[in-house]
A and B are shown apart, each in its own frame.
Chain A
Amino acid sequence: MKKSSLFFTLILALLLGLLVSRGLAQAPPIREQLVYSLNVFDGKTYTSGFCPRGEDTIYIIANENNAITARTTLVYFWPITARYMAGFKTLNEEVEGTLELLRDGKVIASLEKEDNVVFYPEGYFAENSKMYLHEEAHAFLQKYEDATKEYYVRIDEYYEETREYREAFEEFLESIGERREAGEELSRTQVEAQMPKQPSPPEGVRFYTTPVSKQYILDLPQGTYQIRLRARDGTIAQDSQKNLVAFVRRRGGTIGYEITPGNRWTMKENSNDPSRTIYASGRNTLYLRPFLQDEYNDFYYNKLLDPQNVGTSERWIWVHTTPIKNALLDLLSKGKLLEKIERAPYYVKQIPGPELGYEILEYKEEEFPERSPSFEGHKLEVSSVSGRGKYDFRLEKGEGEVMEGSEREILFVRKEDTNLLHIISIFPLIVGVVVFIQRKRRAS
């Protein structure tokens, strides 16, 4: 027992030590560091981040343009998230030099900074973007600037037309008043027909191009490399040596869905694998957004998004890449087609009041002037009664051609029998009682 007591005292001391160590928290120290600022392709768009000194490897998708620069900034450790944070707003100095790319210890390329832009064809907040280099970069920026200039010209014209419209409208009201005073009877239709037409505002520039920036561009085949920065004086910049992993997708082109429940706009779920069943309860409105998707290694992909992330190298994850827009969604129950659902735009309207929430309404331009739809998707209304507990859906392209891998199953869980779960768990005790009774009988 003495040994055991000693053993437990040690454990107690260890746990107390833990508690004391937590009490030593203080403001995090800030250090100047050379970091790599990243703008990397994540399969659909460009993600910004940085690689601090503590991380020795940068991960990128192979055969795509990825931009990096070496910068001196202030780095501090944030204990709540256990991550290093960069204070680029306080210090953000670019480290000049040549980026050397090595493979098996040999320099295979010396890279200089290149002009680049990121082009967002459907706007900054849309899903996809592409990086353009050199002349193309300047051309895309010029295209955006021209479109913006043209937009401002149209805006000026619109303001002028609006001013003219207001004047005309006032004149029109005066003339209508005078005619009515003169005894003329005018119907509502007649008044509306003579009313000046209000000008509509010009449509904004839908696409976006970032300003031209100069960065080292890494467009590499799959493999493991090393990078380092050779400063202008010929020396290797301290802490600039990193490993670089360029990886590819394992599979691609299959179909995944982003599912938004009608009553929880902010809580989106992904259904990326046909083997994963969608469980629902009661009456449901679901908004489905189909995507083409690529499969990446979980560890590599998480490290690509942020070199400080963790991941599991044995796990593979699906990444939604391109939205599928020209397809119909077939809703089936017991193999029987119930409905073909078209993709439609929806607007998420905030509902004021004590229960702050959202309402998802079908978007109509006349009902929501000067507003864009919040999202586009297929609206699916299902209930446990009409579908008898099970539905299937799939995507149909063109002439009834079902898109492979788009099939999913919706099962409705039965909540009314949940109390039975506790009763089922008693059955081992019943078996025990039966064994006990039999034993008693044999003994007697």
Chain B
Amino acid sequence: MRSRFSLAPHTARVLVRRDFLSALKGWGLYVAAFVSLLASSFILRSHLGAIKENNILISSDPLNYPLFISLVVISFYLAIISVISISREKDQGTLEVLFYGPVNCSSYLAAKYIKDMLLYLVMVCFFFVYFGAVSGFTNLAFSWSLVKAIFLSIFLVSCIVSFGLFISSLTSRMRTSIIWLVGILLVFLAVQIFHTMLINLEEEALSSSLLYLRKTLEMVSHGIGWISPFSYLNRGMQSIAIGSTLLYGMSILYSLVYSFVLLVFSVLILEAKGVRG
């Protein structure tokens, strides 16, 4: 176990540097950041329109919802780049070459994870600049709660990155990885929608098979709440909206545990499947 999870810091650092610089030199991050901030801008314009229409808005954190919208967009981008990160290298055969050197699974995965998180930290810088400028232009407060939300988002994004890496470790083709990611997210969505619809039907009016289905979906839906990384994102943002310090702390803790567990599983799967997987 000790050798399996031992990190080679120098190797990991080299891998992080290589991947991070490569991602910074590409257009993906900047386009994703632009799209996410543009989505926020539309929400903010609508907010300001509502203030003019209704005369007032009472809020302690008017920028939190636009941040949440940006986060959802950027999370999809990070989920896709993390889900293809391992499978692409398997697909192209570079992973096999890499593993002839002093690289082990845990160092490799840690490097991928750190690279994605560093990319998100670049995004965090964009958030600070963007929301600072928005606050200056519109007079909407750049509150302490927004800073807390941005800080929490680092942990929530960690769940999305580790989820992407986990799926990537399971697949050996880039296209299959993306199909799996989209498919899993669609299943999560379908279960939630179906469950919500069944809840809105009268219990006594349901046939016994639908009743069992409702109970099953209730359990599955509850389980998805702990499996889907987007549920962590949703819960985290809710803890900010509620203003509960306990939930905020729990969100960080759950995200750390979730990321750790998925990364460990990813290492084990990558080891079991091998570099040609």
Is the pair B51, A426 in contact by a Cβ cutoff of 8 Å?
A: no
Known: A389-B139, A435-B25. A284 touches B55 (CB 8 A): yes
A184 within 8 A of B: no
* 203-241 of chain B: CB within 8 A of chain A: 203-205, 239
User: Is B34 located at the chain interface by the 8 A CB criterion?
Assistant: yes
Q: B139 near A412 (CB under 8 angstroms)?
A: yes
A185 close to B (CB within 8 Å): no
Contact in complex: B137, A421 (CB < 8 Å): yes
Q: Please, how many angstroms separate the alpha-carbon atoms of A24 and B194 in the complex? A: 15
Main secondary structure of the interface of A (DSSP, over half): mixed
Which residues of B in the span 50-88 have a Cβ within 8 Å of any Cβ on A?
Answer: 51-52, 54-60, 62
B168-200 contacts to A (CB < 8 Å): 176, 179, 183, 186-187, 190, 193-194, 197, 199-200
| Residue from B55, B138, B203 with most neighbouring chain A CB atoms (10 Å) | B55
Contact of B179 among A4, A28, A281, A420 (CB under 8 A): A4
Report whether B56 and A261 are in contact in the complex, using a CB–CB cutoff of 8 Å: yes
- Chain A residues lying within 8 Å of B60, measured Cβ to Cβ, are 273, 275-277
A317 → chain B, closest Cβ, in Å?
A: 10
Which residue of chain B has its CB nearest to the CB of A270?
B58
- Are A22 and B197 in contact (CB-based, < 8 A)? yes
B242 & A314 in contact (Cβ 8 Å cutoff): yes
Q: What 1/0 mask marks residues of chain A from 260 to 271 whose CB sits below 8 Å from any chain B CB?
A: 011110010111
Residues of B within 8 A of A18 (CB): 193-194, 197
CB distance from A286 to the nearest CB of B (A): 7
Chain A residue numbers with a CB within 8 Å of B156 are: none
Contacts of A271 in B (CB 8 A): 58
A413 contacts which of B31, B129, B139, B179 (Cβ < 8 Å)?
A: B139
Q: Does A159 contact B (CB under 8 A)?
A: no
Q: Considering the complex, which residues of chain B in the window 94-126 have a beta carbon less than 8 Å from any beta carbon of chain A?
A: 126
Interface string of A274-285 (1 = CB under 8 A from B): 011111111010
Given contacts A277-B62, A314-B244, A413-B138, 5 further A-B contacts (CB under 8 A): A18-B194, A18-B197, A79-B201, A279-B59, A411-B139
Interface CB pairs A-B, < 8 A, 8: A17-B194, A281-B52, A281-B55, A314-B239, A315-B244, A417-B138, A425-B41, A432-B27
Q: Which A residues are closer than 8 A to B by beta carbons?
A: 4, 7-8, 11, 14-15, 17-18, 21-22, 28-29, 31, 54, 77, 79, 82, 259, 261-264, 267, 269-271, 273, 275-282, 284, 286, 312, 314-315, 389, 411-415, 417-418, 420-422, 424-429, 431-432, 435-436, 439
Pick the 8 closest A-B CB pairs, nearest first. Answer: A432-B30, A77-B202, A428-B33, A425-B37, A261-B55, A421-B41, A276-B60, A279-B57
